[in-house]
Structure 1
Amino acid sequence: MSNKKQTKKETPVLLGIPDGGIELDNDAYITKIGGLPVWLDPKTPPSSKVCRCGVCGDNMYLIFQSYVPLPDSPYHRVLYVWGCNKRSCMRKEGSFSVIRSHVVDQTYLKAQRQKEEEKRKKEEKKKAAVTAANNQKFQLGDLWGNSAGSFGNANNVSGGFGMKPATTGFGMKPTTTGFGMKPVTTGFGMKPTTASIVGKKEDTLIDKMKQLNIVSDPIIDTTKLPRFPGQYLYIDEERTDSYDNMGIDMSRYKEYLDMEKELLMEVDEGGETWQGETYEKQHLPRGVDKQFKKFTERVECLPSQCVRYGFLSQPLFYSSLSQQQQQLISSNCKHCNGPRVFEFQLMPNILSILPTTEYATKEQNVVNLSGKTKNIDTKAVLNSWNVGMEFGTILVFVCQKDCHPGSLEDITYVEEAIVVQYETD
């Protein structure tokens, strides 16, 4: 009965599951982990600061990229998640980041221009009709003996009394972003049937900013970014209607419940007291709380999952939120002041697929113990085994309005809110 209620209220969660290596990494309309970023408009990349670690200042690795258009939106939409691959930068603000990118759909733009052109023609016809009517009145006035000087000069007529000059509105932002039009596809990780994006423009926004010398950071040179080998993600809906569909062996689960019951009985006979939640916290491993227990039980249903996606759904927290994290996700969008909502989270299985430790070790030039190196720093050698990025889960919260700062035709890159939860020490 409770499951039925949850099914009605909760948004279905989509899972990203590893689906093989990427040979040619040049498609912006896919969902992947690792690899290099592929921009919606390769000629207009973002500033290099979006992928620069806020702790050490080095370039970060792309962890996740996904094409995620929203229903009733005129934009192609991609989200990029970055992470620093240095253990020393973990647990510090700025070691992970996420950006949201927009480019207007060419089909929508064409329809919008056509609509504005039709509006302009109607305004011109209306203005011409009013002008003709006024001219006819002046002519009738002359026949009745009224001179132009006594009533007004026809040459001073400016389109009718109280009439505003017509405006074409060509290229102006619509009052609503959706305008009742849906993108070609609206699914998480789905390719559009046409990969049309905004055509060439003589002067891009970046070019104009360069001419004005107001670009404080150079644009990203993708060829110079560090990268993990790219992996495709297969997208499937999480099935929670029954334990059978989730692949749980109920006999093993019953054994677990019986063992737990016996343990509680032994504790009670030994003179110790059991008070439900208090006992649970005392006998679970250090750092394990109710949120973590719920997290692990849910993930065990499909351990290979790398991403949990559900716009407007509820996240699966790795641990309880800190006050600072709560304030972050409760804050409004800094561009439009709209509310933030949960969109997706990255799961720890990513760390078992991306060679984070291997790549971090190569970058740090760890001392080779087989060589005849003198004065070996024992602490440094021990720390070399504890390298690379770490996280329990990475939660991404975005602007609910999916705002598009700037002109309709501009390529935009907006930084969104990211919450990283780690294992408790």
Structure 2
Amino acid sequence: MSSHDAYSSEEEDEFDRNSKSNVLIGLVDVKIDGNEDEPTFEDTILGGQPVWLHSNSRPKDELLTCGNCGKMMAMLLQAFSPFDDELYDRVIYIFACPDTRTCSKKANSVKAIRGICKDPSKISQLQKEEETALKKSLDEKLKLEEKKKIQFEATKDLFGKGNQASNPFSASDNPFSQGENPFERKAENPFTAKAIPDPSGSSPKTEKESYADAAKKNQVASTAVRTTRADSIELPEYTSYFLYVQGEKYKKFTDPDLEKYKHLTEMDVDSGSGSGSSKGGKGGSDSSAQLDPGAAKISNMLDDTVFEAFTNKVKHNPSQVLRYELGGKPLLYTGRDSTAAKFLGKEITIPKPGYNPSSSRQFELQLMPKAIMDLESDIIKKDILEGMEWGTIIVATDVEDYIPELDENYVGYVEEWCGVQWEESV
């Protein structure tokens, strides 16, 4: 799906069509239930079991185990994300340790894996399909141009010099005759200045396809070679859903969601009368001490302008669980941790890939907090209290998309940089 989707009549009044965004957002579509509609690696899914790029090719166990407790991790996201200008398959996976009581906020308890499959037979098939589509498009264009040329040749002499012998108004002494037909000037049809759009949609696009367009294109082209879930190992799992992707849109009018919490940050403001205040300015007692832990947490967040920007952006599309912008910038949840420091400085300081040290990494996608609600929708309330506590999970990948080694199925997996911005502790 294109990142510049057309606005429906119902959306005209709600969204601002003049606000542009290159971000693609992922939204929950339907719950994956049973074996009726098994996902493939070409689907973008939240939770559930991963679908590897080949049923006999899966990552090494060390990539799937928690770096803190050593237990198998559960999948949070599988994002089919092929590049626009490449024909091989590409998937990003995010895993997290389900033992949040022990491993929450611990290093290597959340991991991102990038997998690619460069099957030469499939690539050759896709190349042939692209060549066939291009040839068909060119043939149709030539036929259209030839048809317009014939029509032009058949009509250009209707008022031209060829009819002067029988046209009394074409005599040389006719003051209105200038020896040429003004309608024949430059022998050019003004209606051929712009190519007529091909209603079949087979004409090559001039605008670069989006991540979702490429995913859709490859999904249709490679239906016959899809794989099913690998059953060699069963990982812990959360509730799973299919996701769909659309361009980010901004609402025209929104009320600040944080306005209702404004009084929490104004409780320290002296009224100026000297009475009714027990703190006597900054030197007195801190107002946050008078707040319950939840209110204090909100008050602290309101002091973080980065979090405020995060909230103001998300409120336009509150149901988003995924943000994708290859080479863009993440939407930071807070500006106070080590992850934020890597993006807020003059230069982005994401670690270079150890498997390709001459390269660098770029932001690709991030998981949003709404995903927690969906992933834990079937968990009982008691366990939710010990549930996930992150604000966003940011993934950056190798700009060269390099994989050191592919197996006999032309599949390879590597761990990518994953930055987790955790909820602040009270």
State the AA in 2 paired with 1:421: Q
2:369 counterpart residue number = 348
Task: Return the offset for 1:339.
Answer: 1.2
Task: Return the offset for 1:335.
Answer: 1.9
1:224 counterpart residue number = 234
Contact in 2 for aligned 1:304/1:349 (Cα 8 Å)? yes
Contact in 2 for aligned 1:101/1:412 (Cα 8 Å)? yes
In terms of mean alpha carbon deviation, does 103-112 or 391-400 score higher? 103-112
Pair 317,325 (structure 1): closer, same or farther in 2 beyond 3 Å: closer
- Distance (whole Å) between structure 2 residues aligned to residue 97 and residue 75 of structure 1: 23
1:174-189 alignment runs, 5 A limit? 186-187=211-212
Kindly indicate whether residue 379 of structure 2 is the aligned counterpart of residue 358 of structure 1. yes
Task: Return the offset for 1:184.
Answer: 10
Task: Return the offset for 1:74.
Answer: 3.3
SS at 2:62 equivalent: helix
Task: Return the offset for 1:360.
Answer: 10
- Distance (whole Å) between structure 2 residues aligned to residue 199 and residue 394 of structure 1: 28
* TM-score (norm: length of structure 2): 0.59
1:394 counterpart residue number = 393
Kindly indicate whether residue 115 of structure 2 is the aligned counterpart of residue 104 of structure 1. no
1:243 counterpart residue number = 252
Structure 2 unaligned spans of 5+? 1-15, 129-207, 275-279, 343-347
State the AA in 2 paired with 1:318: Y
SS at 1:392 equivalent: strand
Task: Return the offset for 1:90.
Answer: 0.7
2:178 counterpart residue number = none
Kindly indicate whether residue 27 of structure 2 is the aligned counterpart of residue 17 of structure 1. yes
Kindly indicate whether residue 312 of structure 2 is the aligned counterpart of residue 302 of structure 1. no
Pair 30,189 (structure 1): closer, same or farther in 2 beyond 3 Å: farther
Structure 1 unaligned spans of 5+? 114-182, 201-219, 362-383
1:274-353 alignment runs, 5 A limit? 285-286=296-297, 287-288=300-301, 289-320=304-335, 322-323=337-338, 326=341, 329-337=349-357, 338-353=359-374
State the AA in 2 paired with 1:398: T
Kindly indicate whether residue 189 of structure 2 is the aligned counterpart of residue 190 of structure 1. no
- Distance (whole Å) between structure 2 residues aligned to residue 299 and residue 402 of structure 1: 29
State the AA in 2 paired with 1:300: K
The RMSD of aligned alpha carbons is 4.3
String of CA shifts for 1:305-364, please: whole Å, max 9, x gaps: 111111111111111253477469522121222111111111111111112782796xxx
Pair 332,221 (structure 1): closer, same or farther in 2 beyond 3 Å: same
Task: Return the offset for 1:108.
Answer: 2.9
* TM-score (norm: length of structure 1): 0.59
Pair 16,222 (structure 1): closer, same or farther in 2 beyond 3 Å: farther
Contact in 2 for aligned 1:329/1:417 (Cα 8 Å)? no
2:413 counterpart residue number = 413
State the AA in 2 paired with 1:195: S
- Distance (whole Å) between structure 2 residues aligned to residue 230 and residue 324 of structure 1: 28
What is the identity percentage for the equivalent residue pairs of Structure 1 and Structure 2? 28
- Distance (whole Å) between structure 2 residues aligned to residue 350 and residue 199 of structure 1: 27
1:76 counterpart residue number = 89
State the AA in 2 paired with 1:77: R
State the AA in 1 paired with 2:83: L
State the AA in 2 paired with 1:103: C
Pair 53,65 (structure 1): closer, same or farther in 2 beyond 3 Å: same
1:364 counterpart residue number = none
2:244 counterpart residue number = 234
- Distance (whole Å) between structure 2 residues aligned to residue 185 and residue 302 of structure 1: 19
- Distance (whole Å) between structure 1 residues aligned to residue 210 and residue 117 of structure 2: 15
Count of aligned pairs: 299
Pair 407,101 (structure 1): closer, same or farther in 2 beyond 3 Å: closer
Pair 317,101 (structure 1): closer, same or farther in 2 beyond 3 Å: same
- Distance (whole Å) between structure 2 residues aligned to residue 97 and residue 310 of structure 1: 19
- Distance (whole Å) between structure 2 residues aligned to residue 185 and residue 325 of structure 1: 27
- Distance (whole Å) between structure 2 residues aligned to residue 391 and residue 358 of structure 1: 17
SS at 1:190 equivalent: helix
